[in-house]
Chain A
Amino acid sequence: MAEQTYDAIVVGSGISGGWAAKELTEQGLKVLMLERGENIEHITGYVNALKAPWELPHRDRITNQIREEHATMTRDGFMHEANANYWTDEKACPYVEVRPFSWFRGYHVGGRSLMWGRQSYRWNPFDYEANAKEGIAIDWPLRYEDMAPWYDHVESFAGISGSLEGLAQLPDGKFLPPMELNCVEKAVAARIKAHYADSRRMIIGRVANLTEAHNGRNNCQYRNKCDLGCPFGAYFSTQSSTLPAAVKTGNLTLRPFSIVTRLVYDKNTQKVSGVEVLDAETREVQEFKSKIVFLCASTLNSAWVLMNSATEIWPDGLGSSSGELGHNVMDHHFRVGASGDVEGFEDRYIYGRRANGFYIPRFRNIFGDKRSYTRGFGYQGSADRRGWQREVAEMGIGAPMKDALTEPGEWTIGMTAFGEVLPNHNNRVSLDKNVRDKWGLPVLAMDCDLGENERKMRVDMANDAAEMLEASGVKNVKTYDSAYSLGQGIHEMGTARMGLDPKTSVLNKHNQVWDAKNVFVTDGSCMTSTSCVNPSLTYMAMTARAAHFAVDALKRGDV
């Protein structure tokens, strides 16, 4: 059927899929973007975005029904009532925890680009070299210099606000004006800078929220309700940014409710001829054909699609020849840090809800620092005055307590570390054919844990935070470690890593599956290591880079 044939098929519509659709359609390819979930229209689909607190029946608290539908996601205190409908129903889509694993999924157009944290940092040159220098896992097949122009490219379009700092460990980019640290954060930043002779720096977070109008989108209104969808289009999401750009070309077809069950491999051409789709609503199965496929279904689901595409030639899945498919699952480990009280700013306050905090770039194991573990971590945090949720024990109940809670409380400051997780072949996901989802499809089984390197790092992650706060005059400093299991960082990476050698990697340096070169995997599954900075900006850059390579290769007749 002619109408079922496209130049390219993009599987998934999240951050990576959206970028693939934009870059491919803008270069003239006819693209079919497949999304397994429902469509959420920009603005009109954001049903809770403009609700006042009192209009949420349970005042944004988690109900038993939400808990039932999201049994693992609600363990973390991350979900809330207003956007619970954006998170995947785990009863319909279960998975198996061989060891504890949190999997946060968003099955709808836009994927997690609607709910993401929007922190956007470039990897630094050492990040791409670390595996090779330390002899850990395998080398990246590319370097910072290969990525830099693509970071420029995606930052310029997406709109990343941030300050230029000139730090080698956190390269500057094409930024919109930075947001502002508040008065307490500025004071603490100045004390940290002085105490550590500028070897540690607290800066405003680099965030995909617009600080001025950009590419026809409105600037941030400081509502801090980003994860409900922004009616102003003020943060980067598929809906606000890449999807309209792709639609504008006239080359995009978007098909929601389309579960890609497998890539159809042709052993004669050693390529895929297209994809098999199960309609999530009608359960009808059909095939769509294309010259190339961009697999951007999210780290673990891209691995699922590849593993479920097993053939007699590749019994463990397409791309399994190296034995690494599904392995080397990584994340950022966190839930450890410190907080304390700040004195002396009782006559200061803030206006507006800034959807951003401060960032302290990595300072461990670089520039001559040497610890008993390798790699490092960065901190995210913020300062604010306590609100009505605080306990005012000395007030008891009644009018004195009520009056006290109507005023802001003392200033507090807190920070959480995000640490690099090393690749480990034993951390893997695989198909469990004994457990089936709503559509009778096998589900993923997760078998992952932290290693010794991360456990050692966590000690510094707590103590360094406390030391910096105490050096800044913060009082009652307390460290915390709320424990962590893989997936909680919602930065899943690995499962189809890039490399230089088909014997040890799933993808080559252009994100092509070694075993089927017209398949490009550009979401988090391609990652060979994790750095300690938030990964989404790198997925964007990686996807744009691969899309341009793919179009050139198509023109040359190379794929």
Chain B
Amino acid sequence: MKLSDTQDASGVGRAPLKMNRREAVWRIALLMGGAMVGSEVLLRGQTLADTKSAPGFSPDELTLLDGIGDTIIPETQIPGAKAVQIGAFMAMMVTDCYNDQQHAVFRDGLVKIDAAANARFGHAFLQCTPGQRTDLANALDAEQRTRFSKNPKDDPVHYFRMMKELTVLGYFSSEIGCTQAVRYIEVPGAFHGDVPYKKGDPAWF
């Protein structure tokens, strides 16, 4: 491995200076010469943990969205999308970020996915076995990919593409996603442009 001129040999592969946010704020306070006014503001965060409902979505619909999200990103050795309240996240994003037309397509998707489950298996999505859910979701994913590849500028996109994108976003940017599925360090403290990687090491957020 070739080292750059600006990097000493001991710097490569060294255990990163790992710091959580509280430590980071404390360290900044030290750097700034003691107590820092406003550190409480910097530490105050918002999470989705208290989101049990979303405007315009019923508890049943949130349960269905949880089921869809958990099919797209299921529990493995690490938790799946349901563990990050993916249904409430999708509902919030659709409500706050989508335009009316996209919103309507997404909502219609909730009806369509149950209809597709009924047509294929004779019962609603949530009544499907995990295997049936995965088969159906893979079929819908193939359908949306075909449509997307034919017309990438299509707007609104297929409802299942919305659900997949929101699930991936909501999962990997969640605390579980950032700290268990991939890696995130608030204050890396250094940059190394050439470090060894072996298959299986998690990506950086």
- Show the binding face of A for B, using Cβ within 8 Å: 41, 43-47, 49-65, 177-183, 185-186, 218, 221-223, 231-232, 346-354, 385, 387-389, 393, 396-399, 401-403, 405-409
B25 close to A (CB within 8 Å): yes
In the complex, chain B residues whose CB is within 8 Å of the CB of A55: 45-47
In the complex, chain B residues whose CB is within 8 Å of the CB of A399: 74, 76
Q: Which residue of A lies closest to B198 (CB)?
A: A347
Q: Which residue of B lies closest to A350 (CB)?
A: B193
Q: Which residue of B lies closest to A409 (CB)?
A: B203
Q: Is the CB of B172 within 8 A of A405?
A: yes
Q: Which of B153-188 contact A (CB under 8 A)?
A: 164, 168-170, 172-175, 177-178, 181-182, 184, 186-188
Q: Is the CB of A50 within 8 A of B172?
A: no
When A180-B6, A406-B182 are in contact, do A50 and B193 touch as well, CB less than 8 Å?
A: no
Q: Give Cα A211 to B21, complex, Å.
A: 22
In the complex, chain A residues whose CB is within 8 Å of the CB of B203: 385, 387-388, 405-409
Q: Is the CB of A396 within 8 A of B142?
A: yes
Q: Is the CB of B45 within 8 A of A348?
A: no
Q: Is the CB of B138 within 8 A of A397?
A: yes
Q: Give Cα A351 to B197, complex, Å.
A: 11
Q: Is the CB of B194 within 8 A of A352?
A: no
B9 close to A (CB within 8 Å): no
Q: Is the CB of B191 within 8 A of A52?
A: no
**Minimum distance in angstroms from A49 CB to a CB of chain B:** 7
Q: Is the CB of B196 within 8 A of A348?
A: yes
Q: Give Cα A408 to B205, complex, Å.
A: 9
Q: Give Cα A348 to B192, complex, Å.
A: 11
In the complex, chain B residues whose CB is within 8 Å of the CB of A347: 196-198
In the complex, chain A residues whose CB is within 8 Å of the CB of B141: 396-397
**Minimum distance in angstroms from B95 CB to a CB of chain A:** 9
When A63-B97, A223-B186, A406-B181 are in contact, do A352 and B137 touch as well, CB less than 8 Å?
A: no
Instruction: From B32-40, B108-116, B117-125, give the one contacting chain A.
Output: B32-40
Q: Give Cα A41 to B25, complex, Å.
A: 16
**Minimum distance in angstroms from A389 CB to a CB of chain B:** 7
Q: Give Cα A282 to B17, complex, Å.
A: 49
Q: Is the CB of A232 within 8 A of B138?
A: no
Q: Is the CB of B168 within 8 A of A58?
A: no
B59 close to A (CB within 8 Å): no
| A178, A232, A351 pick with most chain B CB within 10 angstroms | A351
In the complex, chain A residues whose CB is within 8 Å of the CB of B93: 58, 61
With A231-B42, A396-B138, A408-B204 already in contact, 17 other A-B pairs whose C-beta atoms are closer than 8 Å = A44-B38, A50-B21, A53-B178, A54-B174, A54-B175, A55-B47, A60-B173, A180-B7, A181-B193, A232-B31, A347-B196, A349-B201, A350-B194, A352-B190, A353-B188, A388-B181, A406-B182
Q: Is the CB of B187 within 8 A of A397?
A: no
Q: Give Cα A196 to B41, complex, Å.
A: 52
In the complex, chain B residues whose CB is within 8 Å of the CB of A185: 193
What are 25 pairs between A and B in contact, CB < 8 Å?
Answer: A43-B28, A52-B178, A53-B173, A54-B177, A55-B47, A64-B96, A65-B96, A180-B191, A181-B193, A182-B193, A221-B189, A232-B28, A349-B196, A349-B197, A350-B193, A350-B204, A351-B188, A351-B192, A385-B203, A388-B203, A396-B141, A397-B141, A398-B74, A401-B72, A407-B202
Q: Which residue of B lies closest to A178 (CB)?
A: B6
In the complex, chain A residues whose CB is within 8 Å of the CB of B168: 388-389, 405
When A47-B41, A398-B71 are in contact, do A53 and B195 touch as well, CB less than 8 Å?
A: no
Q: Is the CB of B6 within 8 A of A50?
A: no
B10 close to A (CB within 8 Å): no
Q: Is the CB of A393 within 8 A of B145?
A: yes
Interface bits B42-54 vs A (CB < 8 Å: 1, else 0): 1101111000000
In the complex, chain B residues whose CB is within 8 Å of the CB of A44: 36-38, 41-42
Q: Is the CB of B137 within 8 A of A398?
A: yes
In the complex, chain B residues whose CB is within 8 Å of the CB of A61: 93, 97, 169
Q: Is the CB of A52 within 8 A of B184?
A: yes
**Minimum distance in angstroms from A251 CB to a CB of chain B:** 23
Q: Is the CB of B71 within 8 A of A49?
A: no
Q: Which of A43, A223, A346, A397 is close to B32, meaning CB atoms less than 8 Å apart?
A: A43
Q: Give Cα A397 to B167, complex, Å.
A: 11
When A186-B4, A231-B28 are in contact, do A398 and B193 touch as well, CB less than 8 Å?
A: no
When A43-B32, A58-B93, A403-B76 are in contact, do A351 and B16 touch as well, CB less than 8 Å?
A: yes
In the complex, chain B residues whose CB is within 8 Å of the CB of A46: 42
Q: Give Cα A186 to B38, complex, Å.
A: 42
In the complex, chain B residues whose CB is within 8 Å of the CB of A407: 199-203
In the complex, chain A residues whose CB is within 8 Å of the CB of B138: 396-398
Q: Give Cα A53 to B47, complex, Å.
A: 10
In the complex, chain B residues whose CB is within 8 Å of the CB of A186: 4, 193-194
**Minimum distance in angstroms from A357 CB to a CB of chain B:** 12
Q: Is the CB of B97 within 8 A of A221?
A: no
In the complex, chain A residues whose CB is within 8 Å of the CB of B72: 397-398, 401
In the complex, chain B residues whose CB is within 8 Å of the CB of A183: 193-194
Q: Is the CB of A52 within 8 A of B202?
A: no
B99 close to A (CB within 8 Å): yes
Q: Which of A49, A50, A54, A181 is close to B173, meaning CB atoms less than 8 Å apart?
A: A54
Q: Give Cα A56 to B45, complex, Å.
A: 8
B24 close to A (CB within 8 Å): yes
Q: Is the CB of B21 within 8 A of A52?
A: yes
In the complex, chain B residues whose CB is within 8 Å of the CB of A387: 182, 203-205
Q: Give Cα A250 to B132, complex, Å.
A: 73
In the complex, chain B residues whose CB is within 8 Å of the CB of A222: 188-191
Q: Is the CB of B197 within 8 A of A408?
A: yes
Q: Is the CB of A182 within 8 A of B194?
A: yes
In the complex, chain A residues whose CB is within 8 Å of the CB of B202: 406-407
B134 close to A (CB within 8 Å): yes
| B7, B190, B196 pick with most chain A CB within 10 angstroms | B190
Q: Which of B36, B76, B97, B188 is close to A64, meaning CB atoms less than 8 Å apart?
A: B97
Q: Which of A41, A62, A179, A401 is close to B97, meaning CB atoms less than 8 Å apart?
A: A62
In the complex, chain A residues whose CB is within 8 Å of the CB of B198: 347
Q: Give Cα A349 to B99, complex, Å.
A: 38
B73 close to A (CB within 8 Å): yes
Q: Give Cα A402 to B181, complex, Å.
A: 9
When A178-B6, A346-B197, A398-B72 are in contact, do A52 and B164 touch as well, CB less than 8 Å?
A: no
B92 close to A (CB within 8 Å): yes
Q: Give Cα A402 to B81, complex, Å.
A: 10
